[in-house]
Chain A
Amino acid sequence: MPTRLSEIIRKHQQTLLSEWIAELKNALGRKLIKDAELEQQCSAFLKALEQGASHGEAASLDNAAWSEMKELLNNVSRSRGLAGYSPSETAMFVFSFKRPLFSRLRKDLSAAEAAEEQWNATLVLDQLGLLTTETYQRTREELITRQQQDMLELSTPVVKLWDGVLALPMIGTLDSARTQVVMETLLQRIVETGSAVAILDITGVPTVDTLVAQHLLKTIAAARLMGADCIISGIRPQIAQTIVHLGVDLGTVTTKASLADAFALALQRTGQTVIRVGQARKMKEKDGEAKDRKERE
């Protein structure tokens, strides 16, 4: 049986559109997208709905006639998801069309026909509503996955502190995957910069248990195999207590309380020092005097 849905939509497109937009604005409450954009989306939706209903089987969205509608809804719910709408607000875009459509159906058709058409329309609109929610969720999941990847990369920077001294400020929990990334980037940077000392700063690591300690020791062992020394810094008092209580053996690894201490040690190991400018001048003068005296003698 051909549905009369498309016919009615075509006949009353303008009134349906204005009623629907009023309904939508009322239902949404807050406004995150422009009126013009909303109107454009609504009229595109009506066109696609009319096309789908005139060709396709009303109950099944798999038909090719609905492909335009599907694409439109994908775009709409994706943009809503990114604009910050909640999933129910996104689905409301479709569901709010029911009231204007149904009242129109009741006005134009006989009671029996209206009930039949209402049922058909409900089937279609419900499926479309579910589709928006699905797309919305997929968009959010993509967003979360991307953020996770960003975080993984951002949280493991290897910075060059000084000639021959690398620092690795670790932030967040150290699990096996993170350790793998940390190890690879650290070793790669050691090769690139030819650094002999690397400082692992664990100020941003919330907890250190036996597993985390094991991961740290693995990283240090790998760096040592390549000929670079590692210093662990940024050990908070609570973490020092935990390490001892757990009986973790950090072995021969040098540990320092702060990054500054570790840096001083690293400079010392690489045979460098940092002194105040005034002091440096005095030392130079002294050297000069000593040289003069030698020459006079």
Chain B
Amino acid sequence: MERIPILRMGKYLLVTIQVDMHDRLAMQLQEDLTTRIAKEQSRGVLIDISALDIVDSFIGRMLADIAGMSRVLDAQTVVVGMQPAVAITLVELGLSLHGVRTALDVERGMKLLEESIGEATRAGADEGDGPGDER
């Protein structure tokens, strides 16, 4: 059975959707991705949909769902490379994907993840240092 590959890049997972998404494939991806996030303790997920030129409401909801599941597992999701036609379709369907972060290409998406996760870890480190300084 065909599957969508999930690649590990350091702290992040990269999912490149290059085939037509049908519903069972989407469900499989959800399952695989959540398992991988939990196993590898990833902090960010990049979903590249630049090769996807047809979406329906199910795929749109699936993207939002993946973002929600990742957030629960403490990983941030960035959807990158959406085609203009896909963006228009999603908006017309009323799916604005609130809570999903977006970027123009993988490079910028990676930078976005670096920034937000870097800030989060730095903030965590500062808090840790705080009491030490007082002493």
Count of B interface residues, CB-CB < 8 Å = 20
- Whether, in the assembled complex, B22 has its beta carbon less than 8 Å from a beta carbon of chain A, the answer is no
A187 touches B104 (CB 8 A): no
A190 touches B91 (CB 8 A): no
Give the interface size class of chain A.
10 to 19
B82 touches A226 (CB 8 A): yes
B103 touches A227 (CB 8 A): yes
- Whether, in the assembled complex, A184 has its beta carbon less than 8 Å from a beta carbon of chain B, the answer is yes
How far is the CB of A189 from the nearest CB of chain B, in Å?
A: 9
A-facing mask of B61-84, CB < 8 A → 1, else 0? 000000000000000000111111
How far is the CB of A286 from the nearest CB of chain B, in Å?
A: 29
- Whether, in the assembled complex, B97 has its beta carbon less than 8 Å from a beta carbon of chain A, the answer is yes
How far is the CB of A277 from the nearest CB of chain B, in Å?
A: 31
User: B interface, by DSSP: helix, strand, loop or mixed?
Assistant: mixed
- Whether, in the assembled complex, B88 has its beta carbon less than 8 Å from a beta carbon of chain A, the answer is yes
Chain A contacts of B84 at CB under 8 A? 184, 187-188, 190-191, 222, 226
Chain A contacts of B109 at CB under 8 A? 227
Within 8 A of A (CB), among B39-95: 79-84, 86-88, 90-92
Chain B contacts of A196 at CB under 8 A? 104, 108
B91 touches A222 (CB 8 A): yes
Chain B contacts of A36 at CB under 8 A? none
| Residue on A nearest B104 in the bound complex, by CB | A227
B-facing mask of A200-237, CB < 8 A → 1, else 0? 00000000000000000010011111111000000000
A184 touches B82 (CB 8 A): no
Within 8 A of A (CB), among B3-18: none
A-facing mask of B100-115, CB < 8 A → 1, else 0? 0011110011000000
Contact partner of B91 (CB less than 8 A), chosen from A191, A194, A218, A228, is A218
| Residue on B nearest A187 in the bound complex, by CB | B84
Known: A187-B88, A188-B84, A226-B87. A221 touches B108 (CB 8 A): no
- Whether, in the assembled complex, B35 has its beta carbon less than 8 Å from a beta carbon of chain A, the answer is no
- Whether, in the assembled complex, A183 has its beta carbon less than 8 Å from a beta carbon of chain B, the answer is yes
Residues on B close to A: CB < 8 A? Answer: 79-84, 86-88, 90-92, 96-97, 102-105, 108-109
Would you mind naming 23 contact pairs between A and B with Cβ atoms under 8 Å apart?
A: A183-B88, A187-B84, A188-B84, A190-B84, A194-B104, A194-B105, A195-B104, A196-B104, A196-B108, A218-B91, A221-B91, A222-B84, A224-B96, A224-B102, A225-B87, A225-B102, A226-B82, A226-B83, A226-B87, A227-B79, A227-B80, A227-B82, A227-B102
Q: What are the nearest 5 A-B pairs in CB distance?
A: A187-B84, A227-B103, A227-B102, A222-B87, A225-B87
Q: Name 12 extra pairs, CB < 8 A, besides A191-B83, A222-B87, A225-B87.
A: A184-B84, A184-B88, A187-B84, A191-B84, A196-B104, A218-B91, A222-B91, A224-B96, A225-B82, A227-B80, A227-B103, A228-B104
